[in-house]
Structure 1
């Protein structure tokens, strides 16, 4: 899942960053986008974000389906039960690969012209597949590992809601911004989970044994869960601060004359 966490982080960063710039540049013409073109370079890097998603997810899918399974797909005529986890990851990654490929076809060719709302719904379908994978996983996530996956599932649910809302309310800046924030948070939480459960940030009293996270006592597990809450809050606070700073920068550099105006006439308000 190494490439997936990178893709989610950069896709989320590009989404909320592009959302801030587009809104600051012209609030009245703002539209929701599920992806954001890279500006400059005479348009040569315009589709870089989509290529990163397609190529990164494809590599990750090949690792899960071909390398991790050692091509032992079937045992006694049925799917190899030892690698159900890899098959599930591959299916989820396939959905994001399809999303990226369809979006590229829609944006670069005339074979599959789709409105942005349809692309939002395709992305929401991919997030739904991811949600189902982590919620109904063949590998039973229990204890501390289960708690980290529970927080991940919450973030995935937010991604689903935000992308569906983007299709329903295509002119909403808050919806587009929330979508980018949710995707970025999901990518960051993938990093945090990897560093904590499989890296140097393992809580005291807990350890990785085989493929399972075990804690010496219930108290150690509770401390680990409290640490997860703190990490989640710190990550959320850091992202919100980054959004506010980014918006200030976008407003100062790309700010439109309508950005600071209040639609008093439309709201029936008058100022003395």
Structure 2
């Protein structure tokens, strides 16, 4: 069983990173299509380079803070019972493992980009990101918390979106010059963040479908018809999010192309600056 903040916190991280990747992917391609390369992270320009690695710090620090919340605060430090992991807290332990993988990805990428201790090509970083997404996928697919009914349907959609993140990051390693792959990866991360938000507001917030309710640790519907209506509503919500994201991508490209796509502006915003 999840919670409202437990979906909003990771959703915020995925949403902001995804939108930033969409913007940077469009800007880099419009600036210089011939030299375009897939990036698993994007530097923040300006401020004399002081914020260049901001995205990686957000991923690493945000993942670490969320990891501490899940492993230390949510478990009330009841980690071991009779010498084994507390079975009542397995949900938190699983979330901690997922967050640990994103923390490791952030740290490895920072070491690769800022030091000479672990120089890795962009393709290798893409594969490391895909490992983090795979850990997330396995967590939600083989969750110790059995997601049934309407809750299970929302988490099934989440698993599918995570699968798209895995495919797009692996494709980024195999096709390092592909703008569609880079943009697809950014869109997938954005949709995952949006769906975390949608799940929070629907299952644990004010958007619960009619005839369904949160009772204790379970979401129940009064009749099968109400559950079916909730699933159809989820389909519509997903379609609406995909539509909004695609409109946003097209709008971003229409805004970027006349400004950064001209040869006079290529040097003022080089691809590596975003």
User: Could you state the TM-score of these two structures normalised by the residue count of structure 1?
Assistant: 0.93
Q: Is the 1:3–1:57 contact (alpha carbons within 8 Å) kept by the matching residues of 2?
A: no
Give the root-mean-square deviation of aligned CA atoms: 1.1
Match of 1:123 in 2: 129
Among 67, 71, 82, the alignment partner of 1:65 is 71
Match of 1:207 in 2: 213
Shift of 1:193: 0.2
Q: Is the 1:27–1:256 contact (alpha carbons within 8 Å) kept by the matching residues of 2?
A: no
Q: State how far apart, in whole Å, the 2-side matches of 1:50 and 1:212 are.
A: 36
Match of 1:20 in 2: 26
Q: Residue 38 of structure 2 aligns to a residue in which SS?
A: coil
1:137-184 CA distance string (max 9 Å, x none): 000000000000000000000000000000000000000000000000
Q: Residue 207 of structure 1 aligns to a residue in which SS?
A: strand
Q: State how far apart, in whole Å, the 2-side matches of 1:253 and 1:42 are.
A: 22
1:55-101 CA distance string (max 9 Å, x none): 11111110000001111111112110100000000000000000011
**1:108 equivalenced with 2:114 (yes/no):** yes
Equivalent pairs, count: 258
Among 229, 247, 271, the alignment partner of 2:253 is 247
Alignment of 1:169-184 (within 5 A): 169-184=175-190
Q: State how far apart, in whole Å, the 1-side matches of 2:160 and 2:62 are.
A: 24
Match of 2:164 in 1: 158
Gap runs ≥5 in structure 2: 1-5, 264-274
Match of 1:30 in 2: 36
Q: Is the 1:18–1:36 contact (alpha carbons within 8 Å) kept by the matching residues of 2?
A: yes
Q: Residue 110 of structure 1 aligns to a residue in which SS?
A: coil
Q: Residue 208 of structure 1 aligns to a residue in which SS?
A: strand
Among 8, 13, 29, the alignment partner of 1:7 is 13
User: Could you state the TM-score of these two structures normalised by the residue count of structure 2?
Assistant: 0.92
Shift of 1:256: 4.0
Shift of 1:45: 0.9
Q: Is the 1:95–1:126 contact (alpha carbons within 8 Å) kept by the matching residues of 2?
A: yes
Match of 2:268 in 1: none
Alignment of 1:261-272 (within 5 A): none
**1:44 equivalenced with 2:41 (yes/no):** no
Query: Rg larger in 1 or in 2?
Result: 1
Among 229, 236, 241, the alignment partner of 1:235 is 241
Give the 4+ runs in structure 1 shifted more than 4 A: none
Greater Cα shift, 73-82 or 113-122: 73-82
Q: Residue 220 of structure 2 aligns to a residue in which SS?
A: strand
Q: Return the structure number with greater relative CO, CA threshold 8 A, min gap 6.
A: 2
Match of 2:266 in 1: none
Shift of 1:110: 1.1
Match of 1:264 in 2: none
Q: Residue 44 of structure 2 aligns to a residue in which SS?
A: coil
Q: State how far apart, in whole Å, the 1-side matches of 2:116 and 2:10 are.
A: 29
Q: Is the 1:31–1:173 contact (alpha carbons within 8 Å) kept by the matching residues of 2?
A: yes
Q: State how far apart, in whole Å, the 1-side matches of 2:168 and 2:110 are.
A: 21
Q: Residue 52 of structure 2 aligns to a residue in which SS?
A: coil
Shift of 1:3: 2.9
Q: Residue 132 of structure 2 aligns to a residue in which SS?
A: helix
